[in-house]
Chains A and B, each alone.
Chain A
Amino acid sequence: MKLLDRLLHRAPSDKDIAAQRLRLVLAHDRANISPGMLEILKDEIIAVISRHLEIDPAKVEVNFTESDRETRLVADIPLRTGRRESGRKSS
């Protein structure tokens, strides 16, 4: 069954799983921040940005990228579209 899944590309290989898990854990290790802390950081970023811009919290992504041994924190924060004319939020 495992083999069939693999042949049909239904399941990632053990090699892919290992590489994927390592990529994530190494990023956290190198930046010295736990996955839980990253979630807290993300919530705080959302709170700060939301004070000035309208964003969809559910679509915010905060992740690490790696090139060589340099780690970057990358936040992808899509703005709510179609509201440019409505001006500042009146809350």
Chain B
Amino acid sequence: MAGKIITISSGKGGVGKTTTTANLALGLAMLGERVVCIDADIGLRNLDLMLGLENRIVYDIVQVVEGRCRFQQALVRDKRFPELHLLPAAQTRDKKAVSEEDMKRVARQAAEMADYVLIDSPAGIEHGFRCAAAPADLVLIVTNPEVTAVRDADRVVGLLEAEGWATAQLIINRVKPELVRRNEMLDPDAIVNLLAIDLVGIVPEDPQILAAGTRGQPVVMTDRSPASQAFRDIARRLRGEEVPFMPLKEPSLFQRLFSSRS
């Protein structure tokens, strides 16, 4: 049976799409799933860095699409989890080098060898987003508790509905429990209420995310922090497990002192 194709999108840039993709890919691989990640952000390749696979890239998705290499040749295998593969974006090519049909074909090919195909969408709602979203069985929309990010998320939901593409589920990233408690930040309930789509995860703000990106080791594999736990929970929910949402915990004084030093 072909694997499930999940696209990670957001509308707005900088909300944590690539971080989410990397963590869910590893989270699923850690649960024993076969995963292929596709970086659909042609020209702004970054998923390779997040996953720590940037030095092992030989070919990219544009070369696959243009028939200059075979699909299998372009896959970068993760040495930590041999069942995790990355199909890198091209770094020096135009977005138009890959069409919606190309992406559908590549995603289906990936789904034949994987349980989950995760497509990291570029920001925006133009061609790049459309290519990434068209093949999906499910679109995960990443947003932040900010008015701009929520508004853009709503646009993406609207576009998916208009096209009759996959249903959307929501991940709220960079939630600051302290600000939520003080009513200074949109809380997850309010955001779910406004967007009226199903919630699949709440990821608290976590200073470890920066270090994880720096080292190319997503938090889900190196750390027991709240964000790491949240990503592991989402990975399990994607597999259909019932996982209760953790209560938002504020960082302790110790954690705060520790994180401000690092």
Contacts and interface: CB of A to CB of B under 8 A. Distances in A.
Q: Is B a genuine binding partner of A? A: yes
Contact of A23 (B146, B157, B187, B194): B194
Given A13-B183, A25-B147, A25-B151, 4 more contacts: A15-B186, A16-B183, A22-B186, A69-B161
10 contacts: A6-B183, A13-B183, A19-B190, A23-B194, A26-B150, A29-B158, A30-B154, A66-B196, A69-B157, A69-B196
Interface residues of A, number: 17
Interface in B3-61: none
A53 to B, nearest CB: 35
A14 B194 contact: no
B113 interface: no
Nearest to B157: A69
Interface string B176-198: 00001001111100100010110
Interface of B: 146-147, 150-151, 154-155, 157-158, 161, 180, 183-187, 190, 194, 196-197
A69 B180 CA distance: 25
A19 B146 CA distance: 10
A57 B183 CA distance: 38
Contacts of B185: 14-15, 18
A19 B183 contact: no
Interface centre among B147, B157, B185, B187 (most CB of A within 10 A): B147
Nearest to B194: A22
Nearest to A15: B183
A42 B195 CA distance: 26
Contacts of B150: 22, 26
Contacts of A6: 183
Contacts of B183: 6, 13-16
Contacts of A30: 154, 158
Interface string A1-34: 0000010000001111011011101100110000
Contact of B151 (A19, A22, A68): A22
B147 A22 contact: yes
A29 B194 contact: no
A21 to B, nearest CB: 6
B184 A29 contact: no
B147 A21 contact: yes
Contacts of A16: 183
A29 B186 contact: no
Nearest to A3: B182
A19 B151 CA distance: 11
A29 B147 contact: no
Interface string A27-53: 001100000000000000000000000
